[in-house]
Every structure is written in structure tokens, then in C-alpha cells.
Amino acid sequence: MIAFEKYLLLSTFLLLIIFLIIDKWKPSILFGGSSILLLSFGIITPTEFLSGFANESIITIFLLLALTSILNEYFNISYLFNNYLKNVNTTKGYLLKMGAGVSVLSSFINNTPIVAMLLPMVYEGGKKRNISPSLLLIPLSYITVLGGMITVIGTSTNLVLNGLIVSKGLEPLQSLDYFVPGVLVTIIGVLFISLMGYKLLPKNKDVISEAKANLKEYIVETEIEANSKLIGKSVIEAGLRNLDGIFLIEIIRNNSVISPVEPNEVLQGNDRLFFVGETDKIINLINVERGLLFPQKSHDKQNQGLEIVETVIPANSELVGRSLKEFQFRDKYDAAVIAIHRNGERVRGKIGEVILDKGDLLMLSVGKNFNTKQKFDTNFYLISILKRAKQISKQKKYIIQVCTAFFLLLTLLGLIKFFVFLVLILTVFTVLGYIDFEQLKKQLNLELFSVLGCSIAISTAIVNSSLTKDLEILISKMIDLNNPSYSIILIYFITVFITSFITNTATVAIIFPIGYALIAASGINPNAIFLAISFGASCCFLTPIGYQTNLMVQGPGNYKFVDYFKLGIPLTIIYSTLVLTWIIYYYL
């Protein structure tokens, strides 16, 4: 590799890390732009670029996401889990039982869908037991991370690392490599969180219940007089469209509800008009001459008419970085946003023009088509609605159970790969008519797919370059290669530091070339280094941005940045001590 290409690769790699930490652009843009730059200069070959997207471990992630969605649609894991917890009433008891169940689920099902499925149940379950949701939601996120480390398929981080390992012709890590350390950190971690750790969390006010109890801060009702000049005019002709800081969300006419309100809706006498947004600005609309007044007697919006739904925006949502108006949110989902909460505070300003961010909590007023339009959508996750599973015939359910057991047995016996197992199970669902291809299309998140594929291509380019040799020399000078324990501890804590600020999968892609060079320089058992990287990348307990599920619970739990730190520091110490002790004891 000529000097120019080497320095270009190094510069691209360092800038990628810096911009990921700055978090100004989406990871898909950064990884995609970096890989395309390297491709255009011939540093990455077309084969290397495409190999990341065809990687078995990457495809496995999406098959798991699709299967999880189908299982919840027809077997409703969250509903079953709610019954599992119905007789528990104390905070400690709830956390212990929830922790046991969640850790088992997350060892086989990807972490993000687990939190998406259980977030509404845990949120509502806590309120029913007079337990503040803020005592339960960070634990829910952290426990899914702990449980995900029990197996190689429990988290996408492990699968991405395996993809990188296989790309270098090495033997991938197996679930048995994760089992003992994974079980250790899960059991001890769940006990710590349930018995002591939750006390470090604040008992925050329930943002959603508080908002529902004070709807007048969000919604203002007006009435059109019988002789108003507005009668016979459409909403847009009456000047009630594109208002400053407020918008018309609903009309009640003769006890019937019109929502959402179309621009061409013709106004009638005695119509009740409901506006949301910066409701203090509604006074500018009230005009006796115009014939729009405050009613003498208001409707009770807590008991009739308006249905409020709460949602949270995940990190990989198409909504991030865009406004509601730009996204055409109202038309796409048959829902209007009443309020936006960010970092525990209500976002002020014209709702339709607010640039949305990951972790934002949206309060929606939904129309009759909302459930159909948002079905399978991954741009936001519901917090307050629990769906019951669709009915499935006993005969077909029996076929699914028998096929699953048979294919699983073949997998455990090593006769087929786990990838093949997933393909076969999804094929059974397809043949039985339980695959919605519109659903599968939505599960294929192009943002995530781009990050995963490009990250493997960039890591492969670094490992194949002379930079790896330079890293070996640098590592040899900096590290006492006669003390492998030090090397493992160092690579582990470098990984922990980076994963606290960027996504786990991005962390693995960045650290893998360093770990690969360390193995070549020191001769340490590769599994020891790879497990240190894997567990280090999943040690994401210090910040809300360390992992997607941490962000998902931030809005509903009304958490501040420091709340993650308070519980995260002792949990990180416990987790790290257990992991490093096991790796050093078993592999050295």
C-alpha cells in the first residue's frame, strides 16, 4: 500500500470516530460516506464492499428481527409476560421477576425488539402498582443488555463481531464461549439492580399521566358562534391552517368527532374546535367579530373524543433530523402530535417545524386509521398501547411448534446452522400464510443495514492494510507482551470508553482491527481478545447514547443524563470485574 493510500485510510478512520462521537450526522451517512470514499480510491475493492452486506451474521440479525415481530404478532410475548408478572406488587419483587424473565428472553431474541415489546407493559405495570416508571425502565434496558450476552445471538453486537471474525478466516465465537461469563454478569447484575441499584434512580413524575391530567396545558377548546363569519368557510379559507405555534387538531360537531381535520373541511355553526401546541397563543384567534369564542361549557377531553397515544423515537428512525411537517407525519399515520418531550422537558415552538431527535417522546392524538397505518412501523415505538395477539388455528400452531422443535434439534446437534434454522422457520410461517411481506419490508431497516455492511467493509480494509502491521509494532512498544492480562484489560476498557459515546456495532467495527493487531503481536488466545471486545462493547451502562434501548426509555422514564451514570458506574464495575476475571482465569 502506497503512503498516500495508507494515510487516507488512517485519516478516514480517525475522522469517522470523531464524527461518530460528535453525533451530528447519522451513522449510516458516516459509514456509507467513508466506505464510498475508500472504494473510489481503490482502498476497498468492490468485492470487499459488497461482502459486508452479504455477511451471514448481518443477514441473521434481520432474520431474527423479522421472526421476533411475527412471534409477537401471533403469540404476543408482551401480553404473556404481563400475566407472568401479575401477582408481583413490590419494586424489588417486580424487578427480580422481570429481570429473570427478560434475561432469558433477551438471550435468544434481539435486545431492541424486547424493549419495544415490553416497554408499554413495564410502564403501565409500574403505574398500576404505584411504582414510578423511572425505577423500572433503565433496569429494563440494562437487563436486556446483560441477558443478551448469554448467547452469541442475544445481541447484534455479538453477531457483527462474528461477521468480522469470519471475514478474516478465523473460527467465530460460539454460544458456549459466552455462556458462563454471560450467566455470571446476568445473575449478579440482576440481583444488584433489583435489591440495591434501583434505589440510585430518581422517582420521577410520570410525564404522560401528568400531561393527561393537565390537558388544558396542551389543548384549548373554542366554539363557533351560530352567526359567525366563519360558517360556510373551509378551514384554510378561515385562516385556521399553518398557524403560529398552534394547529387545529379536532372538530366536534353534533357529538361526532372529525379528526384529523382536512384543510377543505367546511365549518358549521356551534362547531367545537380543539387546538394544540403553544396554547397561550390561542388568544390571538379569539375574536368576537370573527365569531370564534371560548365556550361557556367545555367538553371533558379526558373521557371522550380525544385518544392519546404515547410513542418514543428510536435512534435509527427516519424521523430523526426531520420535522413532522417535512415527514408528513399527520397524513402518513392519521395522527397529530400534541406535544414533544425531550430530556424530561416539553419542547416549545411550532410543533410541525421542530427538528426531531432520537429519544424524543411524542404525545399523539390518533384517528381511526392509526393502528393500521403504524402497524409494523419502526420509526417510533408505542408506550401506552398493548395489542392482543391475532388468532392462529390450533392445527397450524401445532405445525409451527413441531417444525420449530425439529429444526432446533437439528441446530443443537450441529446438523444445520442457526442461519438455516431461521430461514426454515420463516419458510414455515410463509407457507402457512403468516408472513406479511409489507411487514418484512419494514423490518429491513436500511439505516441499520447500511451501518452494519459498511462497518465490516471498513474494518476489513484496515485489517488487510499495512496499518495492521504498524499497529502491531506500536502495540509491541506500548504494551508488555509478557503480561497478557494487561493487554486484555487495556483493550477491554478502550472498548468500554468508546461504546459509551457511539453505538455498539460501530464500536466493534472500530476496535476489531486493533484487537486483530494485538492478537498478531502478542499471540494471546484470539477468543480472549474477541470476548473482551464483545463484552466491552456491550458494557453500555454509563450514558443514554451508549445503546439504543437506553435512549428508548429516556423519554418515558423522564431521565436526565446523570441518572444513567448513577446506576451505570457500580454496574459497570461489577460487570467488568466478573468479565475480566473469567477471561483471564479461563484463557490465560
Contact 563, 202 (CB under 8 A): yes
Q: What is the pLDDT of residue 307?
A: 64
A 10 A CB-CB count for 437 gives 8
Q: How far is 336 from 241, CA to CA, in rounded Å?
A: 14
Q: What is the pLDDT of residue 180?
A: 95
Closest CA to 507 of 469, 464, 536, 475: 536
- How many residues are listed for the chain in this entry? 588
The arrangement of strands across the sheet holding 292-293 comes to 256-258, 246-253, 272-277, 219-224, 292-293
Q: What is the pLDDT of residue 572?
A: 96
Q: What is the pLDDT of residue 149?
A: 94
Contacts of 412 (CB under 8 A, 6+ apart): none
Q: What is the pLDDT of residue 462?
A: 80
pLDDT at residue 45 greater than cutoff 90 = no
- Percentage, residues of the chain above pLDDT 90: 18
- Residue 102 binned pLDDT confidence (cut-offs 50, 70, 90): very high
SS3 124: helix
Q: How far is 104 from 186, CA to CA, in rounded Å?
A: 10
Q: What is the pLDDT of residue 147?
A: 95
Higher pLDDT: 190 or 14? It is 190
Q: How far is 74 from 109, CA to CA, in rounded Å?
A: 16
pLDDT at residue 34 greater than cutoff 70 = yes
Q: How far is 458 from 20, CA to CA, in rounded Å?
A: 14
Q: What is the pLDDT of residue 73?
A: 66
Q: For the chain, percent helix, then strand, then coil, each to nearest 5?
A: 60, 10, 30
Higher pLDDT: 236 or 51? It is 236
- Residue 87 binned pLDDT confidence (cut-offs 50, 70, 90): confident
Cell match 423515537: residue? 313
Most distant CA pair in the chain, distance: 92
Closest CA to 14 of 546, 510, 513: 510
Q: What is the pLDDT of residue 309?
A: 79
- Residue 304 binned pLDDT confidence (cut-offs 50, 70, 90): very low
Contacts of 267 (CB under 8 A, 6+ apart): 224, 228, 230, 231, 232, 233, 234, 235, 238, 251
Q: What is the pLDDT of residue 302?
A: 44
Kindly state the cell numbers that stand for 125: 405495570
Q: What is the pLDDT of residue 392?
A: 66
SS (H, E, C) 428-464: HHHHCCCCCHHHHHHHCCHHHHHHHHHHHHHHHHHHH
> Around 544, how many Cα atoms within 13 Å sit in the side-chain half-sphere?
22
Q: What is the DSSP-derived secondary structure letter of residue 389?
A: P
| pLDDT tens string 375-395 | 667 788 887 654 444 556 778
Q: How far is 194 from 552, CA to CA, in rounded Å?
A: 21
Range in 442-446, 515-519, 538-542 with the lowest mean pLDDT: 442-446
Q: What is the pLDDT of residue 376?
A: 64
Mean pLDDT of the chain: 82
Q: What residues form DSSP beta bridges with 274?
A: 221, 250
Higher pLDDT: 452 or 568? It is 568
Most confident of 88-97, 290-299, 316-325: 88-97
